[in-house]
Amino acid sequence: MGNGNLLYVLRLGGVKILLLLLVSMAGFTLLHLAPGDPLSQFTLAPGMTAERLAQIAHGMGLDQPLWRQYLHWLHGIMTGDWGHSFRDQSPVLGIIVSHLTATIELGLAALGISFSLGLGMGLMGALRAGRAVDDVTSVISIILFSLPTFWLGLVFIYIFSVRLQWFPTGNFSSPGDRSIVGYLRHLALPALTLGLVSVPVWSRYMRTFAGEILKQDQIRTARALGLSSGRIIVHRLLRGALLPMIPVAGIYLPTLLSGALVTETVFSWPGIGRLFLDSLQYRDYPVVMGVLMFSAILVLVSSTLAELLHHVADPRLRA
Amino acid sequence: MTVQLPSVLRRLLAHPRGMVPTLYVPTIIVLCGLGPWLLPFGELHVDLYHRFLPPLGNGHLLGTDEIGRDVLSRVLMGGRVSLLVGLVSTAISTLIGTTVGIVAGYHAGLARFLITTVIDAVLCFPVVFLLLTLAAVLHPGIGTIIGIITLVSWMEVARVAQSQTRIVRRQDYVTAVVAMGAGDAQVLFREILPNILPAIIVSATLNIARAILLESYVSYLGYGIQPPDASWGNLLNNAQEYLESDPWLAIIPGAVIVLTVVMFNLLGDALRDAIDPSRRSS
Amino acid sequence: MTDRNAAPLLSVRNLTVSFGGPDIVDDLSFDIGQGEIVALVGESGSGKSVGSLAVMGLLENATIQGSACLSGGVGSGEQEASTELIGLPARRLRALRGRRISMIFQDPLSSLDPLQTIGGQIREVLKAHTRLTGVALHSRSIALLEQVGIVDPEGCLALLPQRLSGGMRQRVMIALAIAAEPDLLFADEPTTALDVTVQAQVLRLLKGLRDQTGMAMVFITHNLAVASAIADRVIVLYAGQVVEDAPADVFFRRPAMPYSRALLSAAPRLEAVLAGYGHLEAPRGQVPSPGQRGTACRFAARCDDVRDTPCLASMPPLVSIAANGEAHHTVRCARWEELAP
Ligand SMILES: Nc1ncnc2c1ncn2[C@@H]1O[C@H](COP(=O)(O)OP(=O)(O)O)[C@@H](O)[C@H]1O
Ligand code: SF4
Ligand SMILES: [Mg+2]
């Protein structure tokens, strides 16, 4: 790896750390804006006295100046002590991790659906630029982009569960049914919902990138040299267009998470999106902030990984 | 690039993809605006004898809801709120975004670095999570919704304004104007602003679509516009309960949202092509 | 080198190309002999590229009429029948491209795959047309790079196009184009993007390759000085038509068409161009655009020798003006005889 690359990675890392600090400050500020301070859960306890409250406040560090509280909180975030749920006092990080699997499964299935559909649509549009196919795929893109996720979910439930009764209306699994088929039947509708609404992310970028490559002389030259169209599409077009898609994956994650929250709510899918909404309803702010911080860190890490991967995968940057 | 309004309008109307949204958008705004005076039923008129009427039932074009209110009236009233949120939050975020974007685009260095870093930091949070948190923390109401949607929307405009400003700033004639000693204000208002305006308008149009969608998410999840006030999002609030027996309660308001958001998105795309026809071929 | 009596390698007849609008290339006819270097000259927009791309089968959304007949290959083992290129199915056309006819373009950087090493790109072409594998593939790649004058072929194989200079890239491009030993190479302004010293080197390389391999070449240029450095024969295109077709020595000594004369008198000598002095000036006025060509001589508006009759009466035909025993020479001018020196 060249010197320029090392410098690039260092700069990238520096900016990311700065970003993380900003993100954490935003999180901390929100936590303090929330109605009902952390003591409110104790004030109504029987036999509570002002003295006792002050003691608790001291114990929680609430009598410290705000910046010290922030540093304390940040230290906790970094060392894995993300606080405890107001609801059952269990550690926030543990709760989040236990809800993560469901979201990852849903997210991966949706990613598969949206990536393959989006890729195909973008590619078709680019290869038939200016023709009917291009128009149709771009209008489909716009429609999918304009669909409220929850409404699409409702429509799917109505069509496929209520009327056709092909799939269950929600939940992770049916009681007593542990089979893989049963699980997939539960996954199908939420994954389709989340997948379809995120198709445009991929299809639009694919259409742009593939369109740019098709305009380059290298395609005409490759044909002049007698390379087959299959070879040209796979080796020149796909390869060239997929490369800049890697950083797009970093942009995609926040969209996916937002969509997951809504999808999980509609389909009662026990992931971190629903955990977030439940916690918000119970005003369980430690968990709310935990999920916010967690997803922000996830987004940062994944976008960094995507950028690094792009750097490794693009031979022009590697050389 | 100077933009002549008549020719933009002509190109906009020349293609169905431009004409349909150009006609739809004012129509839906007028319909929702005049809604209460157009309809025989008040949006809050409860009629427990005519609950769950299907569309066309008993003079109700789109049927009635679980307490017998006229769905069409509620959709139009909901549209007032949803469109208001979309338009006002877009107006504010466009103002903020353009200002911030121009500053970041015009001055290289620390200002640009800080602004872009802050934007990136905000974008780290999934937008629906952020909206819900803010909505839950703040007092619910239409002002709050407008405020928080503005808060998560200005960055897109700022990005567009920033990159456009940088492009214009690099043009030879702007360099020449600067070299001749023109003040910042003169360059800004005479050269930069007119040149980046088309891109800003397009971005703002797309932003309206997004704001309407975001409002529907927040209201659907119960943190936005509170009943009995209607918005397109909260009409769907408890529609899931009645999905089995009365699906139109979910399908109709959702379809109106989709139609309107699609139209704003199409309008944005069509505007982009109409303002800069050379793009169309690409 | 040029044998006028043998059947031509490529025979283009009445080639007409349009993109849904007016004809861009209009009734083009010419022959390319085996091993011959023909310069296709004309101002920008005269249809040089479109005509060549039509023959290569590389135009999309174009309506192409006429014929382009490629005679059977002689060098490659068994004798092949001659092939009509216009309207040939895409599969068969693809099999011919690279192997029998090949093409290089003006900008070598954008012509090469930015993501693949030079070695990878050469192997890609060799695999498409030959059965070479392993060591043979490698040594053939090296040989090709040596053939186009690359000093460190082994090192070059591992590089990406972006690491090479403009001249090196065009050499690599040429190596790719000749990898499968085609009989005919279209070179569309291959030196225009290069600086002058490199231009001369690439011209020498192309001419040397022809001498070495007997490959014929259509060398497209808007620069007469460059044409004079390389061509055996010159075909002048004006507004989509052939207006003169002559052996290079005849053309540069005694051009017959007023347009050719105007071009030549405006053209500085080759040495001056290659040294970077002066630039080619087209005759006053502009080429009529495809929509406004009318039925008279298309050069009439710019011609010093124009007369109402015969010039404006009708479109002058392309006539042979070669005297007995002289080489092929055609011109499209109604007054060529009166104007002959
Ligand atoms: N794909 C195309 N579609 C429509 N017109 C084209 C296309 N390619 C070239 N032309 C037109 O054909 C004419 C000849 O172009 P070209 O052959 O590139 O000229 P030259 O190579 O002699 O400079 C020009 O007027 C050009 O605008
Ligand atoms: S035909 Fe007439 S106008 Fe045309 S080139 Fe000859 S002399 Fe000139
Ligand atoms: Mg050309």
Q: pLDDT for A104-152, tens place per residue?
A: 999 999 999 999 999 999 999 999 888 889 889 999 999 999 999 989 9
Could you tell me if A17 lies within 8 Å of chain B, comparing CB atoms?
no
pLDDT tens across B193-249, in order? Answer: 888 888 898 899 999 999 999 999 998 888 888 877 888 888 887 777 777 777 787
Length of chain B: 282
Could you tell me if A248 lies within 8 Å of chain B, comparing CB atoms?
no
| Contact present, B275 and B3 (Cβ < 8 Å) | yes
- Whether the CB of C40 sits within 6 Å of ligand 1: no
Bridge-based pairing of strands C37-41 and C233-238 is parallel
State chain C's mean pLDDT as an integer.
87
- Scan residues 97-156 of A and list those with Cβ closer than 8 Å to C: none
Give the model's confidence band at B62: pLDDT under 50 very low, under 70 low, under 90 confident, else very high.
low
Q: Quick one: DSSP state of residue A30?
A: H
Distances (CA, A) of A42 to A34, A50, A52, C108: 16, 11, 10, 75
Residue C50 CA to ligand 1 centre (angstroms) = 6
Q: Check residues B126 and C72 and name the one with the higher pLDDT.
A: B126
| Least Cα separation, residue C231 to chain A (angstroms) | 23
Q: What is the pLDDT of residue B281?
A: 40
Residues B30, B36: Cα–Cα separation, whole Å: 11
Query: Which residues are bridge partners to C17 per DSSP?
Result: C25, C64
| Contact present, B218 and B187 (Cβ < 8 Å) | no
Cα A109 from chain centre: 13
Give the model's confidence band at C186: pLDDT under 50 very low, under 70 low, under 90 confident, else very high.
very high
Give the model's confidence band at C177: pLDDT under 50 very low, under 70 low, under 90 confident, else very high.
very high
Question: Coil, helix or strand for A93?
Answer: helix
Q: What is the pLDDT of residue C277?
A: 43
Distances (CA, A) of C140 to A223, C77, C148, C155, C212: 21, 19, 13, 15, 17
- H helical segments located in chain B: 5-14, 16-38, 71-106, 110-123, 127-137, 142-170, 172-179, 184-186, 193-220, 248-275
Bridge-based pairing of strands C330-331 and C319-320 is antiparallel
Cα B210 from chain centre: 5
Q: What is the pLDDT of residue C171?
A: 93
Residue C102 CA to ligand 1 centre (angstroms) = 20
Which residue of A lies nearest to C121 if distances are taken between CA atoms?
Answer: A222
Q: Is the pLDDT of residue A56 over 80?
A: no
Distances (CA, A) of B214 to A158, A249, B119, B211, C333: 23, 22, 19, 5, 72
State chain B's mean pLDDT as an integer.
82
Chain B residues whose beta carbon lies within 8 Å of the beta carbon of residue A300: 124
Crossing angle, helix B71-106 and helix B110-123, to 10 degrees? 150
| Contact present, C110 and A215 (Cβ < 8 Å) | no
Q: Check residues C329 and C325 and name the one with the higher pLDDT.
A: C329
Q: What is the pLDDT of residue C282?
A: 60
Chain A residues whose beta carbon lies within 8 Å of the beta carbon of residue B117: 15, 18-19, 22
Q: What is the pLDDT of residue B282?
A: 35
Residue C113 CA to ligand 3 centre (angstroms) = 21
Residue A30 CA to ligand 3 centre (angstroms) = 62
Residue C42 CA to ligand 3 centre (angstroms) = 9
Interface A:B, ≥3 CB–CB pairs < 8 Å: yes
Q: What is the pLDDT of residue A187?
A: 80
DSSP string spanning C266-298? HSPPHHHHHTT-S---PPSS-PPPGGG--SS-T
Of B117, B243, B266, the CB nearest to A18: B117
Residues A131, B35: Cα–Cα separation, whole Å: 40
Question: Coil, helix or strand for C31?
Answer: strand
Q: Is the pLDDT of residue A9 over 70?
A: no
Chain B residues whose beta carbon lies within 8 Å of the beta carbon of residue A143: 258, 262
Question: Coil, helix or strand for A130?
Answer: coil
| Least Cα separation, residue B230 to chain A (angstroms) | 17
Is the Cβ pair A217, C110 closer than 8 Å? yes
The region of weakest confidence among B119-128, B261-270, C131-140, C160-169 is: B119-128
The region of weakest confidence among A250-264, B42-56, B257-271, C112-126 is: B42-56
Map tokens 């006028």 to a residue.
C4
Q: What is the ipTM of this complex?
A: 0.87
Length of chain C: 341
Cβ contacts of C147 within 8 Å, gap of 6 or more: C175, C178, C209, C212
Q: What is the pLDDT of residue B38?
A: 72
| Contact present, B268 and B209 (Cβ < 8 Å) | yes
Question: Coil, helix or strand for C3?
Answer: coil
Cβ contacts of B241 within 8 Å, gap of 6 or more: none
Of B121, B129, B262, the CB nearest to A143: B262
Map tokens 């670095």 to a residue.
B113
Q: Is the pLDDT of residue A1 over 50?
A: no
A140: its two tokens: 């489909």
Residues B75, B63: Cα–Cα separation, whole Å: 11
Q: What is the pLDDT of residue C79?
A: 62
Q: What is the pLDDT of residue C184?
A: 95
Q: Check residues A264 and A14 and name the one with the higher pLDDT.
A: A264
| Least Cα separation, residue C291 to chain A (angstroms) | 24
Which atom of ligand 1 is least distant from the CA of C48? 22
Could you tell me if C102 lies within 8 Å of chain A, comparing CB atoms?
yes
| Contact present, C38 and C218 (Cβ < 8 Å) | yes
- Across A305-314, B235-244, C143-152, the highest mean pLDDT is recorded for C143-152
Best of A131, A216, A221 to mutate (most C CBs within 10 Å, chain C): A221
Question: Coil, helix or strand for B275?
Answer: helix
Question: Coil, helix or strand for C102?
Answer: strand
Which residue of B lies nearest to A163 if distances are taken between CA atoms?
Answer: B244
Peptide bond into C317 cis (omega under 30): no
Q: Is the pLDDT of residue C14 over 90?
A: yes
Q: Is the pLDDT of residue C65 over 80?
A: yes
pLDDT, mean of residues A246-263 = 87
Residue C47 CA to ligand 3 centre (angstroms) = 7
Best of C52, C85, C113, C185 to mutate (most A CBs within 10 Å, chain A): C113
Task: Report every protein residue that has its C-beta within 5 angstroms of ion ligand 3.
Answer: C 49
Chain A residues whose beta carbon lies within 8 Å of the beta carbon of residue C98: 224-227
Cα A274 from chain centre: 14
Which atom of ligand 1 is least distant from the CA of C53? 17
Cα B228 from chain centre: 23
Cβ contacts of A138 within 8 Å, gap of 6 or more: A125, A207, B269
Give the model's confidence band at C269: pLDDT under 50 very low, under 70 low, under 90 confident, else very high.
low
- Work out the burial of residue B170: count CB atoms within 10 Å of its CB; fewer than 13 is exposed, 13-18 middle, 19 or more buried: exposed
Which atom of ligand 2 is least distant from the CA of C306? 3
Could you tell me if C92 lies within 8 Å of chain A, comparing CB atoms?
no
Residues A139, A152: Cα–Cα separation, whole Å: 17
Q: What is the pLDDT of residue C2?
A: 46
Classify C186 in phi/psi space as left (phi over 0), alpha (psi -120 to 50) or beta: beta
Residues C291, C307: Cα–Cα separation, whole Å: 23
pLDDT, mean of residues C295-305 = 89
pLDDT tens across B151-189, in order? Answer: 889 988 998 898 888 888 888 777 788 778 777 778 888
Identify the nearest ligand to the CA of C43 by its number.
1
Q: Quick one: DSSP state of residue C291?
A: G
Please tell me the pTM assigned to this model: 0.84
Peptide bond into B228 cis (omega under 30): yes
Q: What is the pLDDT of residue B259?
A: 92
Residues C38, C215: Cα–Cα separation, whole Å: 12
Q: Is the pLDDT of residue A303 over 80?
A: yes
Chain A residues whose beta carbon lies within 8 Å of the beta carbon of residue B270: none
Of A23, A254, A255, the CB nearest to B121: A23
Give the model's confidence band at A201: pLDDT under 50 very low, under 70 low, under 90 confident, else very high.
confident
For residue C192, which of C41, C59, C71 has the smallest C-alpha distance? C41
Is the Cβ pair A319, C160 closer than 8 Å? yes
SS3 annotation, A152-187: HHHHHHHHHHHHCCCCCCCCCCCCCCCCHHHHHHHH
Of C90, C111, C115, the CB nearest to A240: C115
Chain C residues whose beta carbon lies within 8 Å of the beta carbon of residue A225: 97-98, 102, 125, 128, 176-177, 179
Residues C184, C85: Cα–Cα separation, whole Å: 13
Q: Give the start-end residues of each E strand in B17-176.
A: none
- Scan residues 119-178 of A and list those with Cβ closer than 8 Å to B: 130, 135, 138-139, 142-143, 145-151, 154-155, 157-158, 162
Of C96, C124, C162, the CB nearest to A316: C162
